[in-house]
């Protein structure tokens, strides 16, 4: 009998344990992947698209509710114009080539960020796929486009300020839930796990509010090489951690015992 692959064994393992509901990924290392191979940086981004496909398929298969990918940051606009144009072309190709698979697998496509800054030839297939997948009940795949965590919080505070100025909201009634309702991620599950590839140890302005209690996993793998097995290892690492949310281990154990008896 043929032995199962490492990835298959890992997938079976993570399916038997509690999964994060919402995973965010900082996809880093495309440029370095290309440079060490003597290739143009855009080839690294192209190979990175294959990782997006494989990780998305794996996340859907194991039962992740929401996957958010940091596809293009607010600061990425400052990159060389040729690279930005190439990234926009790759994004359009991805949206067009994955249209059928996203719909056929019940995935709902979402986008956060200053999406109106994207060129029309990207916005049109993006809006088409968002519209056509809006009623899908499977995993939510969110693309963070022209996105920044500080920009998101600033945008939310501007909306809150307008609500206060108009009398719709009293400053005394402003709490976390009211602020979160103005974030671009409103409606998504709480963020449980953030993965960053390429061996860098920073969060790069990604989901700053949302990751307050998220687990962090830093993978020493460049994004184009981050495939199913690497992703599953991050999920397995998450499953080995105790999430306390400011409580003690003893308190968590008591709560678990009480839930089991209920």
- Could you tell me if 111 and 141 are in contact, meaning their C-beta atoms sit under 8 angstroms apart? no
| Per-residue confidence (pLDDT) for residue 2, from 0 to 100 | 42
Residue 77, marked binder: yes
Whether 105 is catalytic: no
Residue 209, marked binder: no
| Per-residue confidence (pLDDT) for residue 245, from 0 to 100 | 61
Distance between CA 92 and CA 217 in Å, rounded? 29
- Could you tell me if 191 and 24 are in contact, meaning their C-beta atoms sit under 8 angstroms apart? yes
Residue 32, marked binder: yes
What token pair was written down for 168?
């719709």
Residue 184, marked binder: no
Residue 150, marked binder: no
Residue 128, marked binder: no
Residue 60, marked binder: no
The C-alpha torsion from 253 through 254 and 255 to 256, rounded to 10°, is: 50
Closest CA to 36 of 233, 225, 234, 226: 225
- Could you tell me if 141 and 108 are in contact, meaning their C-beta atoms sit under 8 angstroms apart? yes
Residue 31, marked binder: yes
Contacts of 11 (CB under 8 A, 6+ apart): 58, 61, 62, 228, 232
SS3 50: helix
| Per-residue confidence (pLDDT) for residue 217, from 0 to 100 | 98
Grouped pLDDT means (10 residues each) for the chain, 262 residues: 73 96 98 97 97 97 98 97 97 97 97 98 98 97 98 97 94 93 97 98 98 97 97 97 69 58 58
pTM metric for this prediction: 0.92
Whether 28 is catalytic: yes
Kindly report the CATH number that applies to the domain delimited by 19-147+184-260. 3.40.1180.10
| Per-residue confidence (pLDDT) for residue 260, from 0 to 100 | 55
Closest CA to 8 of 49, 61, 52, 69: 61
| Per-residue confidence (pLDDT) for residue 5, from 0 to 100 | 85
Which of 76, 105, 136, 205 is labelled catalytic?
A: 76
């Amino acid at each position: 009998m043929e032995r199962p692959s490492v990835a298959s064994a890992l997938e079976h393992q993570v399916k038997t344990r509690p999964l994060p509901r919402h995973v965010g990924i900082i996809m880093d290392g495309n440029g370095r992947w290309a440079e060490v191979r003597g290739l143009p940086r855009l080839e690294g981004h192209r190979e990175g698209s294959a990782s997006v496909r494989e990780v998305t398929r794996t996340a859907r298969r194991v039962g992740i509710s929401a996957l958010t990918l940091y596809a293009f940051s607010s600061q990425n606009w400052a990159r060389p114009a040729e690279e930005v144009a190439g990234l926009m072309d790759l994004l359009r190709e991805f949206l067009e080539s994955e249209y059928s698979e996203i719909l056929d697998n019940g995935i709902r496509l979402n986008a956060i960020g200053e999406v109106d800054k994207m060129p029309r030839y990207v916005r049109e297939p993006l809006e088409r796929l968002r519209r056509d997948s809006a009623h899908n009940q499977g995993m939510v795949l969110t693309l963070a486009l022209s996105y920044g965590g500080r920009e998101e919080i600033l945008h939310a505070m501007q909306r809150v300020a307008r609500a206060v100025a108009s009398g719709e909201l009293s400053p005394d009634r402003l709490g976390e839930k009211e602020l979160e309702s103005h974030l671009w991620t409103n409606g998504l599950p709480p963020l449980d796990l953030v993965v960053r590839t390429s061996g860098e140890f920073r969060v790069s302005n990604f989901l700053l509010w949302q990751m307050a209690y998220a687990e962090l996993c830093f993978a020493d793998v460049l994004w184009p090489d981050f495939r199913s097995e690497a992703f599953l290892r991050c999920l397995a690492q998450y499953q080995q951690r105790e999430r306390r949310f400011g409580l003690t281990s003893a308190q968590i154990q008591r709560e678990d015992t009480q839930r089991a008896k209920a």
